[in-house]
Amino acid sequence: MCIRDSKKIYKLSEIAELLDLSLDGDGEKRIASINNLKNAKSSELSFYYSKKFKKDLQNTKAGAIILSKEDDFDFSGSKLYTDQVHLVYAKCSQLFESEISIPYLKDEFSKIHESAKVNSNSYIGPYSVIEKGVQIEEGVFINSGVHIGAGTIVKKNSKIHSNVSLYPDSVIGENCIIHSGTVIGSDGLGFAKNGKKWEKIVHSGKVIIGDNVEIGAGCTIDKASSGATEICNGVKLDNQIHLAHNCHIGENTIIGANTSIAGSVRIGNNCMIGGLCGIVDNIQITDEVTIYPMTFVTNNVKNEGAYSGGPILMEHKDWLKKSVTLTKK
């Protein structure tokens, strides 16, 4: 079994020092966790980053608030100042994350092939299967019910949560997180028409995932028909995303939930793709592109910038009028 260390408690002055923040208030105040303004207790730290939460700020019971100096007139308690509240929130959440310690190499109910190379400072949970020739590097945490196919490599300090399937020859980079129920390396939709039937195209490729990638729950990432489906360093995928065969997702791109990306799509670096988007096959999207939710991408995006095409909620009669106008154009 694995063990989670007890949660840490910080003095407010320690948080200010660790995150390089300006403190106004009681530096000896002890903070045990973070919470939203509405539900925070006196032992918790909260954040204010939007005027729509102004009422919650005025009524909060939080022990301290992280906010910008221009907003501090609405709160009289202890404050930590920053101009990047959302970023500091992310960093602060990491301070309070409970760490996983790994006291055992493997659970007695897991099955590890004799040819697999599993670092002694890694953890294999119950009912997980590690096939022939797999390499598990130092600090890797594999939860229960994970299946790792032959020849797969899982690099240092990556975490794979319950019921994930990694098909043979997949490569998982360092410091990755793969959430429950995700399937990596399954066959893509590759069939050739043969009269009224379909002839299967055998997929002989694999999936390569870079370092510091996080993949949400229930995602499906198909291996390449030949070559590799590639997810580059720093990519973040929300839940229930589908990436078809031979896709390439550039560095530090983030994709929202329920987006479906067809085969051989190439997305550049530092892009933001909203939820519920659809991207047809063989599309190329350049670097630094934002695509808003529910947009259907049918053409290459050659210039950086923001693009949208999703429907906006309105009365049906108004939608019909606007649809006619767009059709005429």
**Annotated catalytic sites, by residue?**
245
Asked whether the beta carbons of 69 and 21 are under 8 A apart, the reply is: no
Burial bucket for residue 224 (CB in 10 Å: 0-12, 13-18, 19+): buried
| Residue among 169, 190, 197, 172 at smallest CA distance from 182 | 172
Q: What are phi and psi of 94, to 5 degrees?
A: -70, -30
Burial class (CB in 10 A: 0-12, 13-18, 19+), 260: middle
- Give the tokens for residue 322: 């606007």
Count CB neighbours of 18 within 10 A. Answer: 12
Structure tokens at 196: 């009224």
The pair of structure tokens assigned to 281 is 């096959």
Per the listing, tokens 């360092």 go with 174
Q: Are 277 and 271 in contact (CB under 8 A)?
A: no
* Residue 230, burial from CB neighbour count under 10 angstroms (0-12, 13-18, 19+): buried
Q: How far apart are CA 81 and CA 309, in angstroms?
A: 38
Query: Taking CA 57 as the corner, what is the angle to CA 52 and CA 58, rounded to the nearest 5 degrees?
Result: 115
245 close to 263: Cβ distance less than 8 angstroms: yes
Find the helix or strand (DSSP H, E) in which 45 lies. strand 44-47
Contact 198, 192 (CB under 8 A): yes
CA dist., res. 308 & res. 294, Å (int): 8
